[in-house]
Chain A
């Protein structure tokens, strides 16, 4: 059970969308995290360098948040090690097969009206909702 926090959710969303706009307007690239992370392992240094800089920025965010706003918000996991590894594999494989994740399809794709991203977002929302329904309610934990 978590509290309803629409104001901080909207503020955080605006930061994420501003980041996507900045990367597009300045660098001409889509802020899709799965694609950026997978692109770290390419051989072209020019393609790797901006992706690495983006990831370093993401990794420094908790530190900067701590300096600006104080203690980090709570982070709670309720999953066993086996489930975490299975979920990580599915997220890694699935985002590459489907060419995007919550940021690339969900934010960037929807905001430019991409039909592929609308469909992908609909599909991953539905399978995520079904997964939570099954694991939380039908399997009874």
Chain B
């Protein structure tokens, strides 16, 4: 059941990205081009998405939720660190270079465009690089503790 509900959520998510045209890099770049030929459409995506998502978070702490899952997994950190700021800054540069963020990049794969596929391969490589650096760092610091 967890798999079916996740599948349904993924399908809705993908449909939303296509209906809203978030999937079109030219549309995203036009939204970010406030000093040029600005197209503010995607601000309406944020309004609709946060409004509909807020309903879920408003009822999330009611009894019986999650309906299918065993527990709620909502991040509860409230601190700001260099990782959060630096990561968001790098992500924004990548988003602004091409106009693709992770969701639209995935939903674009079946469109069969080389640009979308190349972006996803590079994105997975970037995620893999982060995981490799993190485990290398964890390994070296545990060795230091050992010494």
9 closest cross-chain pairs (CB), A and B = A98-B87, A12-B20, A92-B126, A57-B10, A61-B14, A13-B48, A88-B122, A17-B52, A21-B56
Contact (Cβ within 8 A) B66 A89: no
Query: What residues make up the interface of B, taking CB atoms closer than 8 Å to A?
Result: 2-27, 29-30, 32-37, 39-57, 59-60, 65-75, 77-80, 83-103, 105-111, 113, 115-116, 118-131
Contact (Cβ within 8 A) B84 A73: no
In this complex, the member of B15, B92, B101 whose beta carbon has the largest number of chain A beta carbons within 10 angstroms is B92
Contact (Cβ within 8 A) A76 B24: yes
Given contacts A85-B122, A101-B101, A132-B32, contact A12 B17 (CB under 8 A): yes
Contact (Cβ within 8 A) A57 B24: no
Majority SS at the chain A contact face: helix
Bound: A89/B118 CA distance, A: 10
Can you list 21 A-B pairs with a CB-CB distance of less than 8 A? A2-B30, A10-B48, A14-B52, A15-B48, A19-B12, A26-B5, A37-B123, A57-B11, A69-B19, A74-B26, A75-B111, A87-B93, A87-B100, A88-B98, A92-B124, A107-B49, A116-B75, A123-B85, A123-B88, A128-B96, A131-B32
Residues of A within 8 A of B45 (CB): 9-10, 12-13, 16
- Besides A91-B100, A127-B89, 5 other A-B contacts (C-beta < 8 A): A27-B66, A75-B25, A84-B119, A94-B87, A102-B95
Bound: A14/B17 CA distance, A: 10
Contact (Cβ within 8 A) A56 B49: no
Bound: A81/B97 CA distance, A: 12
A1-26: CB near B (< 8 Å → 1, else 0) gives 11111101111111111111111111
Contact (Cβ within 8 A) A31 B9: yes
Contact (Cβ within 8 A) B56 A24: yes
Contact (Cβ within 8 A) A27 B69: yes
Contact (Cβ within 8 A) B15 A2: no
Please give the distance in Å from B16's CB to the nearest CB on chain A: 3
Contact (Cβ within 8 A) B93 A128: yes
Contact (Cβ within 8 A) A105 B88: yes
Contact (Cβ within 8 A) B40 A87: no
Given contacts A23-B9, A28-B70, contact A84 B96 (CB under 8 A): no
Residues of A within 8 A of B21 (CB): 2, 5, 8-9, 12, 73
Name the CB-closest residue of B to A127: B92
Please give the distance in Å from B8's CB to the nearest CB on chain A: 7
Set A2, A56, A91: member contacting B7, Cβ < 8 A: A56
In this complex, the member of A25, A50, A91 whose beta carbon has the largest number of chain B beta carbons within 10 angstroms is A91
Bound: A49/B118 CA distance, A: 25
